Amino acid sequence: MFNFLRPLNGPQTLGNGRAFWIAFLVVVALVLAYPFSADAYTVGNIAYMLLWVFMALGLSLMWGYGGILSFGQTFFFGIAGYSYGVLAINLGGGGATVVALVLAIVLAAVAALVLGYFMIWGGVGGVFFGIVTLSATLVLAFFFGQTAGPEWHIGPARLNGFNGMKDMEQLNIPWFNDSNFTFDGISLYYLVVALLLVVYLGLRVLVNSRFGNVIVAIREDPQRAELLGYDTRKYQLAIFMIGSALAGLSGVLYTSWGQFITPASIGLPAAAMPIVWVAFSGRGDITATMVGSFLILLVFQTLTVYSQQAALVLMGAMLLVTVLVAPQGFVIGVVRLAARLVRRRGTGNDIPPPATPARSAGDTRGP
């Protein structure tokens, strides 16, 4: 095992052996080569599906590792998305869109800091945490839905109610000869892939660090963690802010991708989607979440072309089956099955299954 991989490996993540990292490099190479074998439109659609994975990874960190079930991912998605639109329009576009991206994510993190502080320090936990974050999400969606009048504007940026905000520039950076390089189509695809790699590897380091071990300890037994001297509230607030900022990153990339954002991307159906992705994939591991969420989004996008109602019914059915059949997630279940088959053949187990979280009496966590 190479020493530089040591911070990336640990008991909190699947795949800690040489075989996993070789397969990881092969997958990355295939992902980077994909645009050479597909048209720009298809590549842009894949980028669209990948940008939602940040939101799923943030929820996996909060729910799977920290035991905090939040329905507020689209709340922070909406705050960052609308903030990016307002800032990009008011700052004049161009290279200022990078500033708009950073500030929009910061605003989402600040909103998480304020909301999380009052909930966590106020003793809101378990299912009530989910109820409060869902309520905040619905309030935000309702607010933006009634901003259709001309009086609802911030500078030249109009909110436009259910029609949504539009006409903001796509993300771009200053380039040679006083021109700007716009992230669109294939270039946006590579930007999203690069960001996804950075976030994924960064989360692996985080959850396998002392901080990550403390978070898992708090999930398992908050009172014991407090007795050991840890301020559980600060750790919970930290992961809530990180997970919400990742949802904000999804919101900014979505707004830049389509040059619009609407209240429909915040409301109840949208708020439930990350829960389905993470529960089906396996909330207890970020690798399972990343792979499973993308596959679900690919299937959902394909079905939506034919029937949006059928796609939503499928999402609901998947959540129900997950709760009844594979409460730890189907992707994790497949990995465990493969590991057992490998052990039976006597070839060893390069990918050890994660420890099943202990459930205490009165545990209100989801599947």
Give dist(CA 252, CA 104) in Å, integer: 7
- Note whether 266 and 141 are within 8 A (CB): yes
Number of domains in the chain: 1
Boundaries of domain holding 97:
38-344
> Could you tell me how many residues make up the chain?
367
Give pLDDT < 50 ranges for the chain. Answer: 1, 348-349, 358-367
User: Is 164 within the bounds of a domain?
Assistant: yes
Predicted pLDDT of residue 109: 97
Give the pLDDT score at 342. Answer: 76
CA distance 54 to 251: 9
**Cβ neighbours of residue 247 closer than 8 Å, sequence gap 6 or more:** 54, 55, 58, 59, 72, 73, 74, 75, 76, 77, 80, 108, 274
Answer yes or no: is 111 within a domain.
yes
Answer yes or no: are the C-beta atoms of 116 and 124 closer than 8 Å: no
Q: What's 88-137 look like in SS3?
A: HHHCCCCCHHHHHHHHHHHHHHHHHHHHHHHHHCCCCCCHHHHHHHHHHH
| Maximum alpha-carbon separation in the chain | 70
pLDDT of residue 157: 92
Residue 148 lies in a domain: yes
| Through-space distance between the first and last CA atoms of the chain, rounded to whole angstroms | 34
Do β-strands 172-174 and 165-166 pair in parallel, antiparallel, or remain unpaired?
Answer: unpaired
**135-176 residue pLDDT tens:** 999 999 999 999 998 899 999 999 999 999 998 989 988 776
- The string of pLDDT tens digits covering residues 274-289 is 998 999 888 889 999 9
Q: In 214-232, which positions are buried (b, 16+ CB within 10 angstroms) versus exposed (e)?
A: bbbbbbeebeebeeeebeb
Does residue 221 lie within any of the structural domains? yes
Residues 278/290, Cβ–Cβ less than 8 Å = no
CA 206 – CA 238 distance, rounded (Å)? 12
- Is residue 2, in this structure, part of any structural domain at all? no
Supply angle C-alpha 105, 301, 309, rounded to 5.
110
d(CA 261, CA 178) in angstroms, rounded, equals 29
Tokens representing 14 are: 């699947």
Contact 157, 97 (CB under 8 A): no
What residues pair up with 174 in beta bridges, in sequence order? Answer: 180
Q: Is residue 366 part of a domain?
A: no
pLDDT at position 90: 93
pLDDT of residue 303: 82
CB of 70 within 8 A of CB of 79?
A: no
Percent of the chain with pLDDT over 90: 62
pLDDT for 294:
94
Kindly report, residue by residue over 73-117, the tens digit of the pLDDT.
999 999 999 999 999 999 987 788 999 999 999 999 999 999 999
What is the C-alpha to C-alpha distance for residues 310 and 84, in angstroms, rounded to an integer?
32
114 occurs within a structural domain: yes
pLDDT at residue 125 in the model: 86
pTM: 0.88
Strands 260-261 and 165-166: antiparallel
Q: What is the predicted pLDDT for the residue at 362? A: 41
Instruction: Answer yes or no: is 28 within a domain.
Output: no
